[in-house]
Amino acid sequence: MRFCEIDGQDEIKRKLIQTVSDQRVSHAQLFFGPEGCCKLSLAIAYAQYINCTNKQGITDSCGTCPSCLKYQKLAHPDLHFIYPVATTKRVPKKPQSKHFIENWRKFLLESNYQASLQEWYGAIELENKQGIINADDCNEIITTLSYKSYESDYKVMILWMVEKLYYSAAPKILKILEEPPEKTLFLLISEDPDQIIKTILSRTLLVKIPGSPLFQSGRTEEDTIHFESFRQWMRACYGAKIVDLISFTSEISRFGREKQKGFLTYGLKVIGFCASVNFRNNLPAGIEGEELKFIRDFSPFIKIENLHEFNDLFNSAIFHVERNAHAPTLFLDLSLKIVRLFKPNFVPLS
């Protein structure tokens, strides 16, 4: 799959390509968006581009080098897929993704990668059962990634519909997701990030495919409460006002963990909204008044170059809040990192 075979999504393609030219490919990324938004095709095109040995300038993979030819058939030895499965007549016990790989290739190629979960279940004749990503497949991920790549630069592990990862199997892959072997790329695909186990979610860089829930809605009552504090915090960061940042830090440290997470999640949404203004020139419905004004004013500061860093910072902070990090240290450190995104030469004490 080459980028040029996917309709539209130019901004996302450009951002993905940029990560390669900047040599900043995050090792675990979650592509999410509603059914039909090309998230799986984009992930495969991205992986093919990364491993193409004859990249077409900075725009696309070549489609003809040995790596691309194998990718086009979904048969590259360093490209691995994990997807929900269950027992079937043909695989009556201990089902794993590898038992269905021929079905998977045929299914994707015939549907032009526009795969829906129900169609997949139909393709492997699950009848009325629901598939899951099971513990055996989690072990398989670890085994597969413990070998060196056969021929390409990156080993790629694509987990399709990661919201179907079985709850008790998930801990098996937390460590490898966080600290994968070198040159390993996890691409997780999801239609509903709200259903993903939080410890998995927090270990990935979110790649919102336009039309995705965070861009279009995802607003909660709580967001209205967070708005004013967030605006003041960003103003203090932008102005590098250390005294204000310290008082912000002590104030937010008094909140409970859930409220701190809600605040940071709101921050992630604002960054998504700003990206939406910048790259798609639109905003979700329901944002108005002072908040709308703030997002319009703030969006020029969220650029292609720092969007991933903003996302990373907030995701990582959520991850650490969940693990009971010392809140004053965490929020002060986060604030100073944001100051540096605004002012790269900033030195806190002079």
**How far apart are CB 47 and Zn ion at their closest, in Å?**
12
**How far apart are CB 19 and Zn ion at their closest, in Å?**
18
CA dihedral 2, 204, 262, 327 (to 10 degrees): -150
CA atoms within 13 A on the CB side of 299: 19
**How far apart are CB 51 and Zn ion at their closest, in Å?**
8
Which one, 64 or 217, has the nearer CB to Zn ion?
A: 64
Residues 44-47: contacts with CB within 8 Å, 24+ apart?
Answer: 44/1, 44/71, 44/74, 44/113, 44/158, 45/1, 45/2, 45/3, 45/5, 45/6, 45/13, 46/16, 46/187, 47/71, 47/79, 47/154, 47/156, 47/158, 47/185, 47/187
**How far apart are CB 63 and Zn ion at their closest, in Å?**
6
**How far apart are CB 156 and Zn ion at their closest, in Å?**
14
Helices (H), 80-216: 101-110, 117-123, 135-146, 171-178, 198-201, 213-216
For residue 292, how many other CB atoms are within 10 A of its CB?
14
- State the residues that interact with Zn ion by CB under 5 A: 52, 54, 61-62, 65, 68
Which one, 31 or 71, has the nearer CB to Zn ion?
A: 71
Which one, 47 or 338, has the nearer CB to Zn ion?
A: 47
